[in-house]
Structure 1
Amino acid sequence: MAVDSSAIGMELPPTTLRVDAGRLRFFAKAIGETDPVFTDLDAAHAAGYANLPVPPTFLFGIELEQPDPFEWLATLGIDLRRALHGEQSFTYHTTAVAGDVLTATPRIGEVYSKKGGALDFIEKTSTITRGDGELIAELKTVLVVRNPIESRSATESTEAGK
């Protein structure tokens, strides 16, 4: 089933998270980050941060804090078993630190197909803001949805008739 392009512009529920220093240390260890600025408060202070800075890819996980972070896919009629994370990009405007309250506000930016309808692509853009409204970063996630063969056949038949 092809993703309906009317989803473009759809706003998804925002997610708010208070950034915890212990969680940042755990995340840094999990990704193999060895720079002490991300795990040692004295090193963070020496580098000019008020607290431990948020490692670059940490922001991706904020939206996963919802009880059902993939509910929006079901709303679009997408079987999660057919979805694949295709791409992730970040544009940073400033650094978030432990203690900040961050809100991720996502929306569907683009929907398009390739390979004769065999693959649908959904671009989801998210803004991350601090509690005071300051823009921290903009994220873009591209999900790839593999369509069932029967959907491709119908799409190919329709395109062939054009």
Structure 2
Amino acid sequence: MAFAWLRNNWFYPLASAVVLGDVSALYVQDWSHPRLLEAAVVFDLVVVLPLLYLWCYRSRGAAAIVRAVCLASLGIWATGHIVPLEHQHVLGSLSWLRTTAMVVLVLIEIRILFNFYKAIFASDKTPEEIAEKLASDVKLPTWLTRLFALEARALRSLAGFVKGFLGRR
């Protein structure tokens, strides 16, 4: 069983090894070449780890790409915290990349939520059917699907109440 998990999720032990190697290199080196060391850590955390993730989970399609972008953004953030402030030269020029990645992720989330709310208010399907459709599109866990169905039911009730309240006046 452990071998099957490792065969399907080899990214985690490999990523752990890369991160541990980078962190240990940062604390063992004498910082005689700070730009080179910082660039190597940035490259590992921002390029290598997301590419390894994409390679491991390439069958997941667009979801793997979104998670790889998240991982690259997390790599920039983590590098900013593990490289000492006086040795941060490359990171200053990458701040725009992290901001761009965050904007793209927020736009994707807004699109997903817009489609969800559009399905709630413009569809005659039950909230459970809407949540199941969203879960199949985005691949959500079942507990989150139930939460979305509950939210859809509450929003429909609230919309009906507001329409009834405004219709009386």
Fold shared, TM-score > 0.5 on shorter chain: no
State TM-score, norm by structure 1: 0.28
Write 1 or 2 for the structure with the bigger share of strand: 1
| Bigger-Rg structure (1/2) | 2
